Amino acid sequence: MTEKDFLPNPYQEFPDKGGVSWKAPSNIALVKYWGKKPVQIPANPSISFTLDNCATTTSLSFAKKEKSDSISFDLMFEGRPKDDFKPKIQTFLERVERYVPFLKAYHFTIETSNSFPHSSGIASSASGMAALSLCLMDVEKQLDPDLDETLFYQKASYLARLGSGSACRSIKGHLVQWGQHANIPNSSDLYGLEYPFEVHADFKGYCDTILLVHKGQKQVSSTVGHQLMHGHPYAANRFQQAFDHLDQLKPILKNGDLEDFIKLVESEALTLHAMMMTSMPCFMLMKPDTLEIIQKIWQYREETKTPVCFTLDAGANVHLLYPSSEKDKVCAFIEDELAQHCENGQYIHDYVGAGAVKING
């Protein structure tokens, strides 16, 4: 597929008004996307577990306009107008307009809400952009009823990527890979792909407890972090590592080899943060409690041989990953040892999910 394949067929219908709703989950990368080229082309391939509980629900209503010369929309977040989110959505809509040219024909009302607490430090851009992209595709489906289902989801992922790179991995379920890789058939820089290889049963329903270490605004945004990979002294090695890790994951995911899974996933998380600490200017997003949690996870794993590991996104929160069969034990460990390092003792239990769903309203 090339960019041209995402230009639409001539629209057959133009309803006067309507509304659609989608719920899209967040995702947690095992091999991290860090570094990009214009426009939203990843410098390296990545793969993530799609989550389930942490999700954004977006409703998009549309009404035909008299004049169709510009993009216009109102934005509501959790029931209230949210003007400070508008510039990001405006940029996104301008970027995708070429691919969904009905945009200027309608005035839109976007109503969005997250299942996770506001400013929990959980990135809502992935689930938010994915939900909005699916809504746009749903409108396109009404204008072009012949639109095929595979293309519908691929294009939703394509559009979501243009909003936020990792959002392209929040459309489909379980494990989603993004970024061209010679050994992964049909892999693409343009959209996420349901992982095409065999995956061991242990990884279905894998648990992710998100330990909310720091809920405030991040000191450096992901966008700036990606930029700092340009001219970074270790960038080339880091990108190669991500390619190699995807190769190494194939037998690990197939055989359910948790020991090697843990090594690879933790190495990815720490390499990501090492890139931040070695960029110019350098920065650090981990907090003292992030490190305390990591130490406790290592100690607990050593003592109990429980296959729990951590990963980190571009922030201080820790994602604790473990098989569902270990849930009771790990929940006790979290309560006894880890919750004290979370802001207000807060954490969120989540698990690997099946991807975005349409909400019938």
Q: Which two tokens stand for residue 144?
A: 């072009």
The residue among 167 and 258 lying less far from ligand DP6, judged by its C-beta, is 167
Per rule CB under 6 A, is residue 164 in the interface with ligand DP6?
Answer: yes
- Quote the least distance from Cβ 286 to ligand DP6, whole Å: 13
Number of amino acids touching ligand DP6 (CB under 6 A)? 17
Stretch that binds ligand DP6, among 27-35, 49-57, 242-250, 323-331 (CB under 6 A): 27-35
Q: Which two tokens stand for residue 233?
A: 């002294």
Per rule CB under 6 A, is residue 350 in the interface with ligand DP6?
Answer: no
Q: Is 314 exposed, middle or buried (0-12, 13-18, 19+ CB in 10 A)?
A: buried
The residue among 207 and 269 lying less far from ligand DP6, judged by its C-beta, is 269
Nearest residue to ligand DP6, using CB?
A: 165
- 52-81: which residues touch ligand DP6 (CB under 6 A)? none
Per rule CB under 6 A, is residue 187 in the interface with ligand DP6?
Answer: no
Around Cβ 234, how many Cβ atoms within 10 Å? 14
- Quote the least distance from Cβ 147 to ligand DP6, whole Å: 26
Q: Return the H-helix or E-strand segment holding 142.
A: helix 125-143
Q: Return the H-helix or E-strand segment holding 277.
A: helix 258-277
Per rule CB under 6 A, is residue 273 in the interface with ligand DP6?
Answer: no
Q: Which among 25, 222, 212, 23 has a CA at the least distance from the CA of 122? A: 212
Per rule CB under 6 A, is residue 222 in the interface with ligand DP6?
Answer: yes
CA–CA separation, 173 vs 94, rounded Å?
A: 28
The residue among 252 and 285 lying less far from ligand DP6, judged by its C-beta, is 285
Name residue 82's amino acid.
K
CA–CA separation, 175 vs 47, rounded Å?
A: 7
Q: What is the DSSP string of 5-60?
A: GGSPPPPS---SEEEEEEEEEEEEEEE----EETTTEESS-EEEEEEEEEEEEEEE
Per rule CB under 6 A, is residue 157 in the interface with ligand DP6?
Answer: no
Name residue 228's amino acid.
L
- 295-334: which residues touch ligand DP6 (CB under 6 A)? 313-314
Stretch that binds ligand DP6, among 96-104, 160-168, 262-270, 294-302 (CB under 6 A): 160-168
Q: Using CB under 6 A, pick the residue from 21, 26, 44, 46 that binds ligand DP6.
A: 46
Peptide bond into 39 cis (omega under 30): yes
Per rule CB under 6 A, is residue 223 in the interface with ligand DP6?
Answer: yes
- 121-140: which residues touch ligand DP6 (CB under 6 A)? 123, 125
Binding site for ligand DP6 (CB under 6 A): 29, 32-34, 40, 46, 123, 125, 164-166, 222-223, 226, 272, 313-314
